[in-house]
């Protein structure tokens, strides 16, 4: 399964709403879809797992939604610390590829 | 509080073996609730899962790296390890270790840059 994120770059101002997309090459279970934030020089941070469940300590301005092949990460009101790279990730398991993790190529959220 | 810390050489010669350890503190490698994994990120590029291990010793690898990768567990040292053989410049990356729960990587080490030199 391949994950395609769009847009590649999103330019917005603090206070605005951000909508990031992650499309899977085939239908997947939302239970296995996660989102990460990565700021320069830092390790990725888990934001959302199970498509819509916020990880511990993640502000409620971050929300996840979607099903099937289309998933969305929404940031309701951008704070200065929200700008950086965002990745979606999927866990898949099949007879040929048991226990496999795949990342999207990322969306860069930059200050306009 | 769970902490993960990668350690190992920052420079490896081409064709040799990359070896890294991840030391876990504030948590147990023998917990049945978690897997433990390695992820890498070439400079300026995206994330790639390398492999994972469960407390039982069961291992899972990215098919693109399977022939060169070994992930192992040493619970006496609270460590899990990565070995990647026959490295090339394409293996130059920041290598992260992480805990896996609910099919996501919920805690990460700070990462360590490994450069493959010719």
A49 interfacial to chain B (CB closer than 8 Å) = yes
Q: What is the pLDDT of residues B55-113, one digit of tens each?
A: 999 999 999 999 999 999 999 999 999 999 999 999 999 999 999 999 999 999 999 99
Asked if B36 contacts B100 with a C-beta cutoff of 8 angstroms, the reply is yes
- The reply to whether residue A55 touches residue B106, judged by beta carbons under 8 angstroms, is yes
Which chain A residues have a beta carbon less than 8 Å from that of B63?
Answer: 97, 100
pLDDT of amino acid A95: 74
Q: What percent of chain A has pLDDT over 90?
A: 88
Residue B89: strand, helix, or coil: helix
A91 interfacial to chain B (CB closer than 8 Å) = yes
**pLDDT category, B117, cuts 50, 70, 90?**
very high
- The reply to whether residue A89 touches residue B46, judged by beta carbons under 8 angstroms, is no
Q: What is the pLDDT of residues A60-91, one digit of tens each?
A: 999 999 999 999 999 999 999 999 999 999 99
CA-CA-CA-CA torsion sign (A16, A60, B105, A25): negative
Q: What is the pLDDT of residues B69-79, one digit of tens each?
A: 999 999 999 99
Mean pLDDT confidence for B12-41: 96
B51 interfacial to chain A (CB closer than 8 Å) = no
């Amino acid at each position: 399964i391949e994950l395609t994120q769009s847009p590649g770059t999103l330019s917005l101002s603090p206070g605005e709403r951000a909508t990031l997309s992650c499309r899977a090459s085939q239908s997947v279970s939302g239970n296995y879809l996660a989102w990460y934030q990565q700021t320069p020089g830092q390790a990725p941070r888990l934001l959302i797992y199970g498509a819509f469940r916020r990880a511990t300590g993640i502000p409620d301005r971050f929300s996840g939604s979607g099903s099937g092949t289309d998933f969305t990460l929404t940031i309701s009101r951008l704070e200065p610390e929200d700008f950086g790279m965002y990745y979606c990730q999927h866990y898949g398991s099949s007879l040929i590829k048991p226990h496999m993790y795949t990342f999207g190529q990322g969306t860069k959220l930059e200050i306009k | 509080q769970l902490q993960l810390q990668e350690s190992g050489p920052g420079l490896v010669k081409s064709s040799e073996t990359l070896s890294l350890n991840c030391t876990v503190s504030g948590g147990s490698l023998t917990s049945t609730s978690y897997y433990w994994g390695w992820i890498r990120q070439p400079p300026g590029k995206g994330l790639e899962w390398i492999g994972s291990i469960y407390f039982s010793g069961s291992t899972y690898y990215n098919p693109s790296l399977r022939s060169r990768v070994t992930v192992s567990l040493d619970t006496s040292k609270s460590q899990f390890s990565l070995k990647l053989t026959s490295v090339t410049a394409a293996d130059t990356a920041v290598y992260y270790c992480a805990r896996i729960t609910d099919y996501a990587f919920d805690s990460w080490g700070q990462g360590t840059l490994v450069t493959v030199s010719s």
